[in-house]
Structure 1
């Protein structure tokens, strides 16, 4: 059975492994100082937040998220990173993590949760199409 909850110091090695898997999937390697910064932010729980999914007590999925203001509504929650170990895929870990973020965001008074994924990420999009609305927006970036 999949359970979700906060991360503890004991989860750090498994979290680092899952976060590395997430970044590898998107073709990047994070510098150690960015990994350390993220963990510190999650520990403080003030600006960025993290939850984990556990299967039989083992951390098999992670989600990172934060809130931000909106000019047209109350605050919104951005789900930035979601990753599950291959052994947990298809067992409800991703769905459970999305639901946990939505529950957290409701409690915090947010009006919606949103996220981005690559259009080629068909496996994840099968789940996303079941739990959320595709609003049809494209993302543009200016690298600085």
Structure 2
């Protein structure tokens, strides 16, 4: 069966996904030239699995292999009495790109946001990430907001 005929399935993260999620999360951080301490990675994974946490993840599988993930979280808004959904991290293994997994991951997060009755879903990417931006531009127009951030 060719890769094109194997369907990508998106589902909530499960405990058994940890090793592959960690490997993909490491590749994601390497792409963005970022370093996340092990303690934070471990805490993030625990939050993802905690039913009471607002931090969640969906996993993309193709042919039984995990090929991507999207980490997202819900938070209060001053513009609505409904929560916002922030899609914080999205990554698809480079060897599995081009088959629609990233779009399906976004749709998976959107479905979770609808269940939670979220006000909106939002995300951002680096300006230089042209492949991601070309996909995102087909999903929704980009915002005119510029992000400022200051480490504390």
Task: Bin the TM-score by the shorter chain.
Answer: over 0.9
Match of 1:54 in 2: 61
Rounded Cα–Cα distance in structure 2 between residues aligned with 1:142 and 1:32: 22
**Which of these residues, 17, 28, 36, is aligned with residue 22 of structure 1?**
28
Q: Which structure 1 residue ranges, 4+ long, deviate > 3 Å from structure 2?
A: none
**Which of these residues, 108, 117, 122, is aligned with residue 116 of structure 2?**
108
Query: After superposition, what is the alpha-carbon deviation per residue over 1:77-113, rounded to whole angstroms, capped at 9, x for unaligned?
Result: 0000000001211101100000010011011110210
**Which range is displaced more, 64-73 or 92-101?**
64-73
Match of 1:35 in 2: 41
Which TM-score applies when normalising by structure 2? 0.91
* Secondary structure class of the residue paired with 1:102: helix
**Which range is displaced more, 66-75 or 46-55?**
66-75
When the two structures are aligned, how many residues end up with a matched partner? Answer: 144
Q: List alignment gaps of at least 5 residues for structure 2.
A: 1-6
CA drift at 1:24: 0.5
Tell me, yes or no, if structure 1 residue 65 matches structure 2 residue 92. no
Match of 2:147 in 1: 139
Rounded Cα–Cα distance in structure 1 between residues aligned with 2:142 and 2:97: 22
CA drift at 1:47: 2.1
On the 8 A contact 2:92/2:101 being kept in 1, the answer is yes
Rounded Cα–Cα distance in structure 2 between residues aligned with 1:29 and 1:127: 26
